[in-house]
Structure 1
Amino acid sequence: MIFVNLPTTDLERSKAFYTALGCSINPLFTDDNAACIVWDDNTFFMVLTHAHFSQFTSKAIGDGHTTAQAIISFMVDSRDEVDEKITAGLAAGGSEPRDAQDYGFMYQRSIEDPDGNNLEFGYMEPQAAEDGPDAYVAEHGEGPDPVPGV
């Protein structure tokens, strides 16, 4: 199991954002201080108020709007699903910090949640995932925005 702990300044807003992406809330591990956001059977986000998050670290909590410490990436089943996730996240208060990246064999889009935490959704052609991007590019040619060195 993977638990990603994220600080938030507004717990209800965060819950609305992540449920808009298709996640659910596990009420057994959700209260006024934290929400357990269920991505799948093995992946969870623990979204914690700043006061609660600070109980687990002696470090200052960064502002996700001005600093980045991690990008949480998910591969999904299609380019359409990438776009659907971003559209849902934007409607729920997220922001898209950069343009979509289309490498031909892989398509990615990024979104920041309302607290500035970075999420990325991507789709990779099955052949590229199995054989590597070099084999895919050799057979299909480079995409519109090739990855350097591939």
Structure 2
Amino acid sequence: MVGVTQINLIVADLDRSRAFYAALGCQLRSIVTPGDETPRAWEVTAGFAPVGLHTAEFARWWDSSAPASGPGSTTIDITFDGRTDAVGFVEVIRTSGGQVLQELTNMPWGQSYAICADPDGYRWGIKTAPSEESAP
């Protein structure tokens, strides 16, 4: 396991949030969906925390579980080196009182991704490291 790699914050106003985190000294890069160059999210590439700023629409794109995430929601990502470790961790969540909201799925950006929740409903993104083919 690599550990917590990103905290995804679902925001109401993407531009306002980007400006806020930039003012705090964070450097950000835009995230777009395939076929559309409009930023749907911003990822902190340098700064005080591994934060991703996501619109609710973008969060629904990568997290199809219900209820849908909205402004004020948080998903904490944990990255595993391989799929076997990620599958094992999802099973521990399932058998330890958590919920699997979205099974581990191959995503178009080269990672496998699952959405889980702890007993209080906090969401966790369980993902694999990017594949060699998806590396920039």
Q: Taking structure 2 as the reference length, what is the TM-score of the superposition?
A: 0.43
Q: Decide which structure has the larger Cα Rg and report it.
A: 1
Q: Could you say which structure has the higher strand fraction?
A: 2
Higher relative contact order, chain-length normalized (CA < 8 Å, sep 6+): 2
Bigger proportion of residues as helix: 1
Alignment TM-score, normalising by the size of structure 1:
0.39
